[in-house]
Chain A
Amino acid sequence: MKPVSIKYILVESFNNILRNKVLFITSIFTVCVTILLMGVVGILLMNVSYNSDEMLDEMLHITVYVIPEADEKTLNEIQDVIVNDPHVESSTYVSKLEAYEASKELVGEEVMEELGYDFLPPSFIVKLNDVTYANIFVHKMSSMSNIYEVKYSSESYERAGRISYTIRYVCGALTGLLGILSLFLISNTIKITVSSSKEEVTIMRYIGASEARIKVPFFLQGGFIGFLGAIISFIIAGFGYNYIYTKLEGSLSDYIGVLELVPIPQMLLVLLGVFMLYGIVLGVLGSFFAIRKYLKA
């Protein structure tokens, strides 16, 4: 495309906007509200995801208790099996003495002194790199000789996973619905712009303007609506999140357990990218639907 054409298209897009100022502002506002609503859902989603990942991470620890009578050779053999498993990310050995010290804190020094530490089983705290492998690993270790017990909170893990997935699906569906709403609104705005430019478009066609030259300004207009809507909603969402984060000092632990908020820079970066992409794609898609329907050649 010639530079003069690009200039013409940009000027035409701008003129279209100026010609329908009120409509343009209304569209930006509606897109902004929609993206903002989606943003709220997104922020929730990210925080749920962030915390469920953290929680799941914690739950991925499996404790393998070895019988108290096990000698050093047996312990080394078990350790070898654990360390050589490709799904094991890390493992920590907890000796009888370390278990004794930990138990003293739990049940009291006097009790533990009387009981001694010889009856306590040494253990390995294992962290897996793959959640789905947990049950297989537990079964594998349990079936080994000299193993006293394998502890793994599978139920709580699965429940947390289910909750996390449910929230993700609900939020995803909500985001999709809001997307359709935005699409409809942008499409409607472009439709009205197309209607008000009908005479101009007819003349352009008679004169011999190419379809691209006729349609691109409308696409740009849609993209611009989406872009501006995204920028404004990003600013609002960014300030809002910053305010909440600062107010809560990055954690909801005072209110609901261990919930930590996603750090501000990480959140802003994701919001900026997602909002921009979402806004522009919505704008261009909305334009596409309106043009396809109301600007037939």
Chain B
Amino acid sequence: MIDFENVSMIYRSGTEALHGISFHVDPGEFVFITGKSGSGKSTIIKLLMREEKPTAGDIFVNGYDLYNLSRYDLPHYRRRLGVVFQDCRLLMNKTVYQNIEFAMEVVGESNRTIKQVVPKLLHMVDLVGKEKAFPDELAGGEQARVALARAIANNPDILIADEPTGNLDPKTSTEIIDLLYKVNQLGTTVLVVTHDTKIVDRLQQRVIRLKAGNIISDTEGSIYEDETCEY
């Protein structure tokens, strides 16, 4: 599903973000990518989103060679990804319903499908009754849930969550992680980039740890507490 093969990334500014890292993620896996600031977590997301091309190495996702991905194929590739951003990036001039509907409209889903899917998603993320609310009328956790619903609206193969609990209290963080796990249980591969030790400990899934652009450990079901890492 996801293959990073000796991927290095050096930005134009000269910053070396990744140093020949390799990892493989199977379909249906739940993977945490952790590391402190500057470890290369965000670069992995940018590469997966194909916002950037690696300086060296190959990335294969869902059968797409990301380095050689054409401009025509890029939207098709991205339609198979769902992304939850740390700041949620909701459209403030659209209601909860419209934010989710928007994600489906722009990829050409029919009105009929939208009308069937959006209520189900709202139910799944426990936002029934908030359809007509605007993002600035919602609490942080609710905004994160809208962002999650939007990310999975097009039934992606891979869900990427970038610090999804970054600005949330512990209780809400747990709810969001549980939702991500629920999505994973439905068959979607989930990649969560985080430095929140509690959520990593809670789920005990595979954890890829980064430090200064290198993978320092890649363990299944690991507990996050590790004296060799500083966060």
Contact = CB atoms under 8 A, between A and B. Distances in A.
B105 interface: yes
Contact of B106 (A2, A19, A199, A204): A204
A210 to B, nearest CB: 5
A255 interface: no
A207 B79 contact: yes
A169 interface: no
Interface residues of A, number: 19
Contacts of A8: 105-106, 108
A206 B83 contact: yes
Contacts of B109: 4
A213 interface: yes
A199 B106 CA distance: 14
A203 interface: yes
Interface string A174-213: 0000000000000000000000000110111111111101
A203 B89 contact: yes
A199 B89 contact: yes
A208 B111 contact: no
A106 interface: no
A205 B78 contact: yes
B91 A199 contact: yes
Contacts of A200: 91
Contacts of B83: 206
Given A4-B108, A4-B109, A5-B108, A208 B91 contact: no
A210 B79 CA distance: 10
Contacts of B108: 2, 4-5, 8, 213
Most central of A4, A19, A208, A210 by chain B CB within 10 Å = A208
B107 A209 contact: yes
Contacts of B91: 199-200, 203
B107 A208 contact: yes
Contact of A208 (B71, B75, B89, B93): B75
Interface of A: 2, 4-5, 8, 19, 199-200, 202-211, 213, 297
Given A208-B79, A209-B107, 20 more contacts: A4-B109, A4-B111, A8-B106, A200-B91, A202-B89, A204-B106, A205-B78, A206-B49, A207-B79, A207-B103, A207-B106, A208-B74, A208-B77, A208-B107, A209-B75, A209-B106, A210-B75, A211-B71, A213-B108, A297-B74
